[in-house]
Structure 1
Amino acid sequence: MSIALTRRGFAGGLVGMAGLAAAPGWAAPTVFPTGTTIFDPAKTWSGFTVLSLLDTRAVVVLDMNGRTVKRWDDFDVFSGGPARVLPGGIVVAPQGAVQGHLEANALVARDFDGKELWRRDDTTTIERDGKAVPSARQHHDWQLDSFPAGYYSPGVAPSLEGSRKLLLTHESAKNPAIADVILDDDRLIVLGPDGKLEWEWQASKHIDALGFGAPARAAIRRLAARDNFDWFHINAATWLGPNKWFDTGDDRFDPGNVIISSRATSIIAIVRPSGEIAWQIGPDFGASPELMKIGQIIGQHHAHLIPKGLPGAGNLLVFDNGGYSGYGDVSGTSARGDSIYQRAGSRVLEIDPVSLELVWSYSAPNFYSFNISGAQRLPNGNTLITEGAPGRIFEVTAEKDIVWEFMNPPGEGPRHSNTVYRAYRIPYGWMPQVAPPAEVPIVAPEGGTFHVPGTPG
């Protein structure tokens, strides 16, 4: 079995692989297997896997056996994430960190050989050396209307040319209804094919519609005393795209509406171009019997509708991190009224957004990423899961069997972290410059039988 052993000198998240002992973040081993650790070619949906890395200034593409087949340097996923690869081997990713903020100066596209094709770095301004200079202030997500969920589905043909573009950005804002100081506010901007602004939505202007109670409003005001408080923290924003709900007359699911995920508040909502909130779940998942069956969603990432043409199309897919989120009453576990929801464990949820039925879910002992992460539905019905904090990416069947797993090695940055913001699987044909590789099955050893050389078996 071709598995590299890696040594690290930092505390990470879970570092186990299926069938082997897993350890929580406070007891992470310094030596652990990296690379592809499980691969069953007969059961996977094979292709290239695109990694958005947090501690390496590059976008990396892997084959199913974990070999790096392409790398583009000088990108900053840590600031703006995620990276995506479009047909023809075109990469789009953030570049240039804005100091003191979790955001990027620019969103940039390059061809396979690294030639810059497109750049957007002027949707707002930041202060630098006492002067206002252009910046995108892009963070966490972006989309093309020709690629609404940001990953492959049959018949999709994403292209930069002629596409409208959705950018999730920051704007410095002061709203007395929230706090009397400047906040880092989330701003959605939609740019037409000509690059001109078509519409925008700013979170702070809709606080009354989001349903916060008095204790939550008080907690936000209390916490806003911090400079540039990221009060709402949207970490995903995607167009709904074509879907069965709109096709049958439910205009809440207009393909041009945008679904957002607010990590700080446990809210998932759909926003119309008019600014109206068309649909929402959270923050309180005890508010109805249907929501109670789902259970409290906490600190979630990558909320989106599964695209047309894939199993489960139209359902909401979300990585429910656990960890902590939510605003409310001060208590013994929340001295400031934040992080009122807490859970040490993650779930991937597939939810019917109309009935709120929990259609499918994945969880497992020690499955936990308190931040980042995501999930992609694949054409064969499998789900590619990014368990980001521990740097683990794996593919599961509908029956929840793991058929592919990759452990990311430590990064090149000062933290030597192996964290992965998000990963996407693309067809081999989307990078025609690279021949489809040979696929070699990898069978994980039984638990308790995997040892470093020299260790008694």
Structure 2
Amino acid sequence: MEQSTLARRGLGLRGVNNSKVSPGYTLFAHLTSPGIVKLVNNAGHVVHTWKLPYRPGRHARILKNGNLAFNGVHPDAPRLFPLWQKYRGGVMMQVDPSGKVVSEHRDPFAHHDQHHLDDGSILYTTLAPCTADEAASIPGGIPKTEAPDGTVYADCIKHVSPTGELLWSWRAIEHLPPPLFPLQPHYTRDHWPLINSVWPLADGNILASLRSVSAVIIISRETGEVIWHLDSTVVAQQHCASELANGDILIFDNGTFRHGESATYSRVIQVSRATKEIVWEYRDPHPMTFFTPFMGGAQRLATGNTLVTEAAFGRIFEVTQEGEMVWEYVVPDFASYKGLGAEEIEGYFWYPANAVFRAYKYSPEEVPWLKVDEAKL
């Protein structure tokens, strides 16, 4: 009998409503692969694959110019603390459809998220060590769980030109008041506040999701100050905060240690920037059956549907505005971290997994280079 519960429940395409699903192709990077990125159609068939030289440092996107933006794990980054091996990146590549590397920017301290902007510049998350006084000012977390050398690392956001010139930078410890952003009590003190997504807003400011303090913030590009703050009474260890066309904020809310509830479930919420009220929400009809304790993604599609990534279990699905599921796919690839140069986390994540950090869907018009006779697949 199949011993993997995920495999036993079914892999690959699990269902599709062809009259309501958005046309297009879904992109994902299997995290415990040596560097494989796949594009699948609505029938669940793989229509394009990239084989890259580094294991995924979280996720990939397709840019307007048709290239793949891939965040790979830096081969020579310092080994800062055990879980650093889980979510670090550092090699920010543009790769054409044939697999040729077009451009590359490296930062051994980069992690989680990176945006290749239309002008060729890159906005991304990275980190830097705190001074002893800065570290002491950060409340919360599990006592005595700093990095092995005693350091606490704090997040930074950088914007660099196509040639790597620093255009703008922001250091969390200089602009976030630590008492207002305490580490939640079950988090280690090696990394604060753990920014897992960063998004350039239409008004020029920066939207960021802060996992280990359960907060979503907007940073003034001009002053560096926090000008909007959605706190842990609304979100719980959330991911993937993005701006919608009407200015609302779409968030994947993981739900771990959510205020006022003992049952754990994930959801996707759309929050009004003006009022901070939830104006749209998706949760499973049986809420506790949709949950990922870490990672996760939500993308609003042109049709109004939303693509959701239940990341830890490799499950990607699409729902309508009314909450009807119209497409479901479970990544069929399983592997552990063994042999990928991440020895520090082999004990944490010893099992074969099909996890993906975040998936994205693209309309046929967004991938004009894709020539495939899908009837033959």
Residue 114 and residue 175 in structure 1: after superposition, are their counterparts in 2 closer, same or farther (change >3 A)?
same
Tell me the alpha carbon deviations over residues 122-161 of structure 1, each in whole angstroms, 9 at most, x when there is no partner: x4xxxxxxxxxxx3x2211111343xxxxxxxxxxxxxxx
Query: After superposition, where does 1:289-308 map in structure 2 within 5 Å?
Result: 296-306=234-244, 308=245
- In the alignment, what sits opposite 1:397? 320
SS in 2 for 1:429: helix
Q: Give yes or no for contact 2:121–2:160 (8 Å, CA) kept in 1.
A: yes
* Residues 1:175 and 1:164: Cα distance change in structure 2 (over 3 Å): farther
Distance 1:218 1:373, change over 3 A: closer
Q: Which ranges of structure 1 fall in alignment gaps of 5 or more residues?
A: 1-5, 10-27, 124-134, 147-161, 242-254, 286-295, 327-339, 441-457
Aligned to 1:258: 206
Distance 1:426 1:345, change over 3 A: same
- Partner of residue 282 from structure 2, selected from 359, 362, 365: 362
Q: Distance in 2 between matches of 1:235 and 1:164?
A: 19
1:234 to 172, 187, 195: 195
Corresponding residue number in structure 2 for 1:83: 60
Displacement of 1:175: 4.8
Residue identity opposite 1:393 in structure 2: I
Which amino acid in structure 1 is aligned with residue 130 of structure 2? Answer: A
Q: CA deviation at 1:388?
A: 0.9
**Contact 1:178–1:217 at 8 Å: present in 2 too?**
no
Counterparts of 1:45 and 1:29, CA distance in 2: 26
Q: What pairs with 1:54-69 in structure 2 (closer than 5 Å)?
A: 54-56=31-33, 57-69=35-47
Q: CA deviation at 1:323?
A: 1.8
1:141 pairs with 2:61: no
Return closer, same or farther for 1:354/1:196 CA change in 2, 3 Å cut-off: same
Residues 175/268 of structure 1: CA separation in 2 closer, same or farther (3 Å cut): farther
Does the 8 Å CA contact 1:175/1:204 hold for their aligned counterparts?
A: no
Which of 166, 176, 189 is the aligned partner of 2:133?
A: 176
CA contact (8 A) 1:396 1:403 kept: yes
Letter in 2 for 1:410: D
Counterpart of 1:316, as a letter, is: I
Bigger Rg, structure 1 or 2: 1
Q: Relative to 1, partners in 2 of residues 1:94 and 1:7: Cα closer, same or farther, differing over 3 Å?
A: farther
1:206 is aligned to 2:175: yes
**1:170-215 CA-partner distances (Å, limit 9, x unpaired):** 2222251432842222110011345311111111222327724xxx
For residue 63 of structure 1, what is the amino acid of its counterpart? N
Amino acid across the alignment from 2:160: L
Match of 1:425 in 2: 361
State the partner residue of 2:341.
none
1:93-132 aligned within 5 A: 93-97=70-74, 98=77, 99=79, 100=81, 101=84, 102-121=87-106, 123=107
Structure 2 unaligned spans of 5+? 138-149, 339-350
1:30 Cα offset (Å): 5.1
Using CA pairs under 8 Å that are at least 6 residues apart, name the structure with larger relative contact order, 1 or 2: 1
Q: Secondary structure at the match of 1:81?
A: strand
CA-CA distance at 1:412 after TM superposition = 3.8
Q: Please give the secondary structure, in 2, of the residue aligned with 1:178.
A: helix
Question: Does the Cα contact within 8 Å between 2:55 and 2:73 map onto a contact in 1?
Answer: no
SS at match of 1:37: strand
Distance 2:46 2:188 in 1: 43
Q: What is the count of residue pairs matched by the alignment? A: 338
Partner of 2:342: none
> SS at 2:47's partner residue?
strand
Structure-1 residue corresponding to 2:16 = 39
Please report how far the alpha carbon of residue 261 of structure 1 lies from its aligned counterpart in structure 2 after TM superposition: 0.5
C-alpha contact 2:27 2:61 (8 A) present in aligned 1: yes
- Alpha-carbon distance change, 77 to 201 in structure 1, aligned in 2, over 3 angstroms: farther
1:276 corresponds to: 225
Change (3 A) 1:342 1:65: same
Question: Which residue of the partner structure matches residue 250 of structure 2?
Answer: 317
CA deviation after TM superposition for structure 1 residue 325, in Å: 7.6
Q: CA RMSD in A?
A: 2.7
